[in-house]
């Protein structure tokens, strides 16, 4: 475990650099200064962060700097989104009707709380995600969102890994002055969960950090617990490392295990 920790620490140093930002969805919240703009950009960028990376960056630019005219918070609060035709495609299965759902929910959240951060205060990140989903639904006639995964079991299905929201939380809560922005201080980095996608999960299994075959909430908890043994105060910094190890390829992984 100590040898693995040292290797992962090396990969954190290699990939947690300013150069990482430009070609990653985190570049969108980085393009704003005002706290509310950063938050709105982080949520919307995380929602569309699936599929081809170049397509994600094009879609995010069109959404945040085109439709929202580089003022995401003001756009949300102005209600301009009401004028969009529902069938405008923003990113893959994310259409203007879905965008309007999120904007309507955010307007209600900012009116009531002034920030999304209170939704994640004094609770687990899983409960915070459920609170976010609930607030969005309350502003949309009780309809559940299709674009923020459910962290709880539903009709016998396993609870989602909620990869994209956990990624947003990493952006907003970790503050090392390099890649992650760390504008929230009510959620300790020690409480964060690893953003689990198929690539991170595969790398973690090859390294022996997880045993489960599913990519769900329980696997996120298993992997985060393993990472906590190496860095209890900041386990999700190894998100960079697992990405880096995966990029290095199977031959490199074989030299580790």
The contacts found for 154-162 with CB under 8 angstroms, 24 or more apart, are: 158/214, 158/216, 158/217, 158/218, 159/126, 159/216, 159/217, 159/218, 160/216, 160/217, 161/196, 161/215, 161/216, 161/217, 161/219, 161/220, 162/126, 162/129, 162/193, 162/217, 162/220
pLDDT given for residue 255 in this prediction = 83
pLDDT in tens, 200-239: 999 999 999 999 999 999 999 999 999 999 999 999 999 9
Average pLDDT, the chain: 96
For the chain, the farthest-separated pair of C-alpha atoms sits apart, in whole angstroms, at: 56
What's the confidence (pLDDT) of residue 252? 84
Render pLDDT for 55-103 as a digit per residue (tens, 0 to 9).
Answer: 999 999 999 999 999 999 999 999 999 999 999 999 999 999 999 999 9
Residue 111 has pLDDT above 90, yes or no: yes
Average pLDDT for 139-149: 95
Q: What is the pLDDT of residue 254?
A: 83
Amino acid 212: pLDDT: 93
């Amino acid at each position: 475990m100590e040898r693995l920790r040292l290797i992962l620490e090396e990969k954190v140093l290699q990939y947690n650099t300013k150069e990482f930002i430009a070609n990653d969805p985190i570049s969108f919240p980085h393009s704003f200064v005002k706290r509310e703009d950063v938050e709105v950009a982080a949520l919307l960028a995380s929602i569309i962060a699936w599929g081809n990376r170049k397509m994600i960056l094009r879609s995010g630019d069109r959404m945040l700097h085109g439709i929202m005219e580089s003022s995401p918070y003001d756009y949300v609060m102005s209600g301009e989104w009401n004028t969009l035709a529902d069938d405008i495609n923003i990113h893959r299965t994310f259409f203007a009707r879905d965008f309007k759902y999120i904007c309507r929910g955010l307007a209600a959240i900012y009116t009531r709380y002034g920030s999304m951060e209170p939704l994640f205060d004094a609770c687990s990140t899983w409960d915070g995600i459920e609170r976010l989903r609930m607030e969005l639904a309350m502003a949309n006639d009780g309809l559940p969102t299709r674009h923020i995964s459910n962290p709880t079991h539903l009709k016998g299905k396993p609870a989602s890994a909620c990869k994209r929201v956990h990624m947003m939380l990493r952006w907003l809560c970790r503050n090392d002055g390099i890649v992650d922005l760390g504008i929230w201080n009510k959620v300790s980095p020690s409480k964060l969960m690893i953003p689990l996608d198929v690539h991170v999960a595969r790398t973690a299994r090859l390294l022996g950090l997880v045993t489960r075959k599913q990519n769900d909430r329980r696997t996120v908890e298993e992997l985060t617990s393993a990472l906590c043994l190496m860095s209890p105060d900041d386990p999700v910094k190894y998100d960079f490392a697992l990405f880096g190890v995966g990029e290095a390829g199977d031959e490199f992984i074989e030299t580790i295990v």
